[in-house]
Amino acid sequence: MATTSGLDKDKALIEWEYATTFNRTHALIATIGAHLGLADEQVDAMWIAAINL
């Protein structure tokens, strides 16, 4: 798994910190899921659970 560094990392940190909404299909969500070792199905399940809170 590649690590994110430099400008890409700075951009991701800014997006994460200042976002007011999150879209399931945003590349940052896929990247975070991958770094956590989660399958797409697991991220989908968490997303659905969060919607139902």
* Residue with the two structure tokens 């139902």: 52
Tell whether pTM > 0.85. no
Q: What DSSP character marks residue 25?
A: T
Would you give the distance in Å from CA 51 to the centre of its chain?
15
The more confident residue out of 1 and 39 is 39
Give mean pLDDT, residues 25-52: 93
Q: Scanning the structure block, which residue is given the tokens 């299909």?
A: 25
Mean pLDDT of 14-41: 90
Contact 12, 28 (CB under 8 A): yes
* Residue 12 tokens, joined: 């991701």
Q: Name which of 32, 41, 30 is nearest 13 in CA terms.
A: 32
